[in-house]
Amino acid sequence: MTIKVIVCGEGSTDVGKRDYETSQWIDGPAIAYIKNASTKKLQIDGIGKNDLPKIQKVKSLKGHSVKAEKLCLYAILHHYKVAICYVDCDKNPFEKIYKDITEGFSDYKNKVIGIPMIPKAMIESWLVADENAFLKVFGKKPPKPYRHIEPESLWGKKEDPNSNYPKNVLKRIVSQFNGKPDDWRYALARNSSSKTLLLKCPVSYGRFLCDMKKINSC
């Protein structure tokens, strides 16, 4: 049985984007990680956060809680079994964001399986975690690999290309290769080992992998 999954992220570099000429969703790396973490056959669709239904504000929900609730309502309306709410952690407390998303899911837990997906600090932290993924995608490992022990702790000034800001770290690694496929971000994620990610990103990927068991037990 195929399980229908709807995923909402922050932009084209995480969950992906819609090609408005073809109406097809172009998968981003977050969707590759979802596929890697599942033992079930999934139909995964993406939706932009601005395309979620408008709802009347209820209770004390705000921020990520509202986004999660909107996603659940969309999932119910369009017959999705699973709703995955993607949010970058950035420098915010991981547990606070996780709690906010969970609260948004709470009223619909008997109708939809809600799963928070919160890379710490952002999806680029996961993308740099597995050196072997670069070998599979680019044909060799980075000549100067990033050997940070804890990708989840990466941070720095976004404006400084030499900083440890996760996007800048990934950009420096990839710039070492002469050419790259158009879908290299998705390919890096798809070729990353869950075991390696669990070791390198235990807080955010570990929680995500644990929550994905809700799908695998369907």
Q: Please report, for residues 107, 125, 141, 179, the alpha-carbon distance to residue 132 in angstroms, rounded to integers and kept in the order given.
A: 41, 15, 7, 17
Q: How many Cβ atoms from other residues are within 10 Å of residue 18's Cβ?
A: 16
pTM of the model as a whole: 0.95
* Residue partners of 208: CB distance under 8 A and separation at least 6: 33, 37, 115, 116, 117, 118
State which fold the 3-119+201-216 domain adopts.
Rossmann fold (3.40.50)
The domain ranges of the chain are 3-119+201-216, 123-200
**b/e sequence 121-157, b meaning 16+ C-beta within 10 Å:** bbbbbbbbbbbebbeebbeeebeeeeebeebbebeee
Nearest to 69 by CA among 88, 90, 55: 55
Q: Going residue by residue through the chain, which has 218 residues, state the pLDDT in tens, using 9 for 90 and above.
A: 899 999 999 999 999 999 989 989 999 999 999 999 999 999 999 999 999 988 765 556 778 999 999 999 999 999 999 999 999 999 999 999 999 999 999 999 999 999 999 999 999 999 999 999 999 999 988 877 666 668 999 999 999 999 999 999 999 999 989 888 889 999 999 999 999 999 999 999 999 999 999 997 87
